[in-house]
Amino acid sequence: MRSQFCGLVDETLIGQTVTLCGWVNKARVQSHQVFFDLRDHEGIVQILVESDQPELFEIASSLGQEDCLRVTGKVRERHSINDKIRTGRVEVLAEKIDVMNRAINLPFHSHETPGEDVRLKYRYLDLRRPEMQRMMRTRIKLVQALRAWLDARGFQDIETPILTKATPEGARDFLVPARMHAGEFYALPQSPQLFKQILMMAGFDRYYQIARCFRDEALRADRQLEFTQLDMEFAWVDEAEVQDTVEGMIRHVFREVMQVELADPFPRMSYDEAMRRYGSDKPDLRIDLELIDIAEHVRSVEFKVFAEWANHAEGRVVALRAPDAATWSRKQIDELAAHAAKYGAKGLAWLKLEDRSKGREGVNSPIAKFFDDATLNAILDACGAQNGDLLLFGAGPYKQVCDFMGAVRLKLGKDLGRIEHSWRPLWVTDFPMFEWDEEAGRYVALHHPFTAPAVDDIADLKANARIAVSRGYDMVLNGNEIGGGSIRIHRPDMQSAVFDLLGISREEADAKFGFLLEALSHGAPPHGGIAFGIDRIAALMAGTDSIRDVIPFPKTTTAQCLMTGAPSPLDPEQLKEVHIRTLEA
């Protein structure tokens, strides 16, 4: 139907007749001429209609935005040159215009960005905007580059089921009533975890899948009911091989899609070090601020909250230096404290170092009075504080201090403009195997119950569960966990021992994971893998904070598709067929 894409018409075509298809971007009707831009996914080109062609002129004069046209005409040089676009030196003198479809009652115009609800309801209009086309096409390129790399290396792209078994571990499952089995349900997979492990036991050696996963959780800005991960698994590997392989893949896709060269190799950092230096297991290395432990200096100060936690076996007291922020107002500091409070802080002590040569006089802080001179100096030295700096302090249980001071660090990085323009990947390793769940009175798995512990000895694991380290690893990029994986348990006795430590009874384990235990006992090879969040990586590459910008038809935070109107009520007869009914309101 067309000879060219609109956005690719340039000087090389001058004098030629072209046929273009697209949408009217903007029309300007003058007394003897109509100009309009015709748009497709490659860009726009200016079309000109002269009044000496009365029939054509009448059609052109009637055109509105988003009318869908086919235009045939001759390419010619243009008077007013626009060097910002490829087609800016030419225009097309129209000879024929077919109006394929009119756009009537438009809710908004393509150059506008209305509220997100309107954008989602009329998603096709939203997606026509060049910015949305660019972001979606970034995602498409990412996936294409990943597949090309994987296919070239013998990874097998294998589909696993969407209708599978409910596993009431982890997040909440989406349920699907079974018509042929009254009272029974399928569940949508939270990930293909067990299937990919089974594939390794089935001899597929190297697996990948761009897999849809489902979690029925409250939606945050960066979560969707369904999301996409690059799921991978390798047989006969250790963590070094998985990490080396997939970081090569990530370097490849950043080179292909972004023309960016990432570090080679990625730095490795233990979970303990990441928490200690950055208060986070997904540290944003673009920010050069670090937490500084000062417990040793404040064990005997009069400021109770410091002294108490400095002497507590599971406490932490840290300082964070905010360079050149001594000029911050009380209001700015209060805002920072409010931010910290969201992450569990009870308060946020601060100190402004105005002029160290003045001693105490040069220090402005509500808590300085609790410190003797030696302590004050020790703290300032530990922080490397310079005149003009603001210091912020956190004290409390170790994990809580990490959480809120890590959050303070990120906000400071942003507020102080100290986020480097770069891509800073790293591996975080040596995660704890278990976390103690106070409420449930039992251990929970930090990764998942199939992650191998670093020790091979079951007695050792049981004796030292609280400090056991797993063979899990996360890939972190600019403060985002973009991938997570582990070497898996491949011995049935170890898997049973871990279920046991997690408080899963033998009966429960058999009922839920019997097929896994059986498979492990039928000659399972050592194996491990990883999963990458495609939506998140695409959003990072596209330069947007919202994964909804890289998902063509996302759900709202209230779990609705505004375009189609899903979910929707159904006829009770339809429910009866699958043997359920709704509860009364």
Q: Is 384 annotated as a binding residue?
A: no
Distance CA 18, CA 73 (A): 6
Q: Which is nearer to a second copy, 237 or 310 (CB)?
A: 237
Q: Are 313 and 322 in contact (CB under 8 A)?
A: no
Task: Report the candidate in 420, 367, 414, 370 with the shortest Cα–Cα distance to residue 392.
Answer: 367
E strands, 254-300, in order? 268-270, 291-293
Q: Which of 75, 92, 120, 194 is in the footprint of a second copy by CB under 8 A?
A: 194
CA distances from 308 to 258, 293, 300, 404 (A): 50, 15, 9, 18
With 0-12 / 13-18 / 19 or more C-beta atoms within 10 angstroms meaning exposed / middle / buried, residue 583 is: exposed
Contacts of 463 (CB under 8 A, 6+ apart): none
Spell out, one character per residue from 241 to 260, where the chain touches a second copy: x when CB under 8 A holds, - when not: x-------------------
Q: Is 522 in the site for a second copy (CB under 8 A)?
A: yes
User: Which range binds a second copy by CB under 8 A, 43-51, 64-72, 301-309, 426-434?
Assistant: 64-72
Phi, psi of 517 (to 5 degrees): -60, -40
Distance CA 455, CA 491 (A): 13
Does 226 appear as a known binding residue? no
CA distances from 561 to 94, 121, 553 (A): 40, 8, 7
* Residue 428 beta carbon to a second copy: minimum distance, rounded to whole angstroms: 24
535 is in an annotated binding site: yes
Dist CA 273 CA 271 (whole Å): 6
Helix runs in 416-483, H state only: 458-463
Q: Which is nearer to a second copy, 259 or 558 (CB)?
A: 558
User: In this chain, which of 195, 328, 350, 450 binds a second copy, going by CB under 8 A?
Assistant: 195
Between 543 and 552, CB nearer to a second copy: 552
Contact with a second copy (CB under 8 A): which of 85, 118, 158, 263?
Answer: 158
Tell the smallest beta-carbon distance from residue 359 to a second copy (Å): 59
- Considering only residues 209 to 238 of the shown chain, the ones binding a second copy according to CB under 8 A are 212, 214, 216, 225-226, 228, 235-238
533 annotated as a binding-site residue: yes
Q: How far is the CB of 165 from a second copy (least distance, A)?
A: 4
Q: Is 216 annotated among the ligand-binding residues?
A: yes
- Residue 528, both tokens: 């491990």
Which of 520, 530, 541, 547 contacts a second copy by CB under 8 A?
520
Q: How far is the CB of 164 from a second copy (least distance, A)?
A: 5
Angle, helices 398-415/330-342, rounded to nearest 10 degrees: 130
CB of residue 173 vs a second copy: minimum separation in angstroms?
8
Least Å distance, CB 355 to a second copy, is 56
CA dihedral over 358, 364, 369, 371, signed as positive or negative: negative
Closest CA to 178 of 579, 581, 582: 579
Which among 99-107, 348-356, 401-409, 421-429 is the span making contact with a second copy, rule CB under 8 A?
99-107
Give me the least distance between CB of 43 and a second copy, in Å please: 11
- Tell whether 251 is in a known binding site: no
Which 163-192 positions form the footprint of a second copy (CB under 8 A)?
A: 163-166, 168, 172, 174-188
Query: Which 267-326 residues touch a second copy, going by CB under 8 A?
Result: none
Q: Which residues between 553 and 582 bind a second copy (CB under 8 A)?
A: 553, 555, 558-561, 563-571, 574-582
The reply to whether 440 sits near a second copy by the rule CB under 8 A is no
The answer to whether the annotation marks 551 as part of a ligand binding site is: no
Q: Which is nearer to a second copy, 95 or 216 (by Cβ)?
A: 216
Closest CA to 74 of 10, 13, 139, 4: 13
- Interacting positions 474-503 with a second copy (CB under 8 A): 490-491
Residue 333, marked binder: no
Find out whether 381 and 368 touch, Cβ atoms under 8 Å. Answer: no
Can you read off the two tokens belonging to residue 321? 């230096």
Annotated binding-site residue numbers for L-aspartate: 169, 215, 447, 488
Annotated binding-site residue numbers: 169, 215-217, 224, 447, 481, 488, 533-536
